[in-house]
């Protein structure tokens, strides 16, 4: 009887390029804010709400991140349904997150009317820091982040 021979085929190269799905989930985001807020609009016309955007690097590599707070062009119909608000301050952030690092950005949302608003508008783009690509991959957006603004 002959002994068994074990061998590994030569073409078992592991793909070094992450898939598009992997690239679109490098960064997880979460927004922290009050669920509802009462504001005396008759005394102060602007209602400012502090919002924290938490960014989590889900990979074992360093990741370059761009956060864009500018609203995408939307149809007038969607503005009627969702309402419009403004992010105050800096509108774009560029940062590098180390492997499994978390980073929080302190933001301010400004409202001029009562209503229900979706704060889930920040767009997040990311790429592996050692990639030589000229573009970042859009990160999967989380669920809508609704806030209710009431008048006192």
Does residue 52 form part of some domain? Answer: yes
Task: Report whether pLDDT(73) > 60.
Answer: no
Q: Is 7 exposed, middle or buried (0-12, 13-18, 19+ CB in 10 A)?
A: exposed
Does residue 3 form part of some domain? Answer: no
Does residue 51 form part of some domain? Answer: yes
Beta bridge partners of 66: 94, 125
What's the CA gap between 44 and 42, in Å, rounded? 6
Widest pairwise Cα distance in the chain: 95
Does residue 120 form part of some domain? Answer: yes
- Top pLDDT among 25 and 141 is at 25
Q: What is the CATH number of the domain that holds 119?
A: 2.60.40.10
The pTM assigned to this predicted structure is 0.78
Q: How many domains, in total, are found in the chain? A: 1
Domain that residue 124 falls in: 20-72+83-151
Task: Report whether pLDDT(1) > 50.
Answer: yes
Does residue 9 form part of some domain? Answer: no
Does residue 5 form part of some domain? Answer: no
Does residue 144 form part of some domain? Answer: yes
Q: What 3-state DSSP class applies to 21?
A: helix
Strands (E), the chain: 27-32, 36-39, 47-57, 63-68, 86-88, 92-97, 102-111, 115-118, 123-128, 137-138, 146-151
pLDDT in tens, 82-100: 468 999 999 999 999 999 9
Q: Which of 26, 28, 35 is nearest to 60 (CA)?
A: 26
> What value does the CA radius of gyration of the chain take, rounded to a whole number of Å?
22
CA 107 to chain centroid: 13
Percent helix, percent strand, percent coil in the chain, to nearest 5: 5, 40, 50
pLDDT in tens, 111-146: 999 999 999 989 999 988 888 775 677 877 767 899
Does residue 4 form part of some domain? Answer: no
């Amino acid at each position: 009887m002959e002994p068994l021979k074990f061998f590994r085929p030569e073409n078992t190269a592991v793909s070094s390029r992450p898939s598009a799905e992997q690239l679109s989930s490098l960064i997880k985001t979460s927004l922290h804010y009050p669920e509802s807020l009462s504001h005396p609009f008759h005394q102060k016309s602007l209602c400012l709400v502090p919002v924290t955007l938490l960014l989590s690097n889900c990979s074992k590599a360093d990741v370059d991140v761009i956060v864009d707070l500018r609203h995408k062009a939307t149809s007038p119909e969607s503005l009627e349904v969702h309402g419009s608000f403004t992010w105050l301050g800096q509108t774009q952030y560029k940062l590098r997150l180390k492997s499994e690092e978390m980073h929080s950005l302190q933001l301010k949302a400004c409202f001029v009317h009562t209503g229900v608003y979706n704060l889930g508008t920040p767009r997040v783009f990311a790429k592996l820091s050692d990639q030589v690509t000229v573009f970042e991959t859009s990160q999967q957006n989380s669920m809508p982040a609704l806030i209710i603004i009431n008048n006192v």
